[in-house]
A = this chain, B = another copy of it.
Amino acid sequence: MTEWLTEREQASWRNFIMSVHDLMAALEADLAPHGITMGDYEVLVWLSEADEQRMRMCDLAGALQLSPSGLTRRLDGMVRQGWVQRASCSSDRRVAWAQLTDTGLQKMQQVAPAHVASVRRHVLDPLGPKGVDQLGALFGRVRDHLQALPTA
């Protein structure tokens, strides 16, 4: 309840805040030579894991933590590249399916090893197994806490 952070708290917090930016930049940079962004890659991953390799736009937006309009435009680009298709839903004509194409699946399979290696190199290896478990536990707690008060 104090007004300020302790030295320790401040050091930890800044370590975190400043690492995140560099980390994301490094992952993005590792993926760039393979001709895809993290954003598009994540779409491929979610769709590839989904039932029939397709998702409703709104569910996909939720999974990606993206606004509806943001997803619309991201998908526009991916459709242009032939990685996904839009398909209409017969049972609910409001929804649009985002459907992974064969090309998209191939792209994902082609790029995934590089991304996995990148995550390993920048995060998992430096932290070690113990550290990775800690990471998961810490952010699990943060996540639970955040979801407990979504609109506070």
Contacts and interface: CB of A to CB of B under 8 A. Distances in A.
A126 B145 contact: yes
Contacts of A139: 12, 15-16, 19-20
Interface residues of A, number: 46
A35 B98 CA distance: 38
Given A8-B132, A20-B20, A127 B142 contact: yes
A131 interface: yes
Q: Helix, strand, loop or mixed for chain A's interface?
A: helix
Interface stretch (A21-29, A78-86, A99-107): A21-29
B132 A145 contact: no
A13 B145 contact: no
Contact of A19 (B18, B19, B143): B143
What are the nearest 3 A-B pairs in CB distance? A12-B136, A19-B139, A126-B145
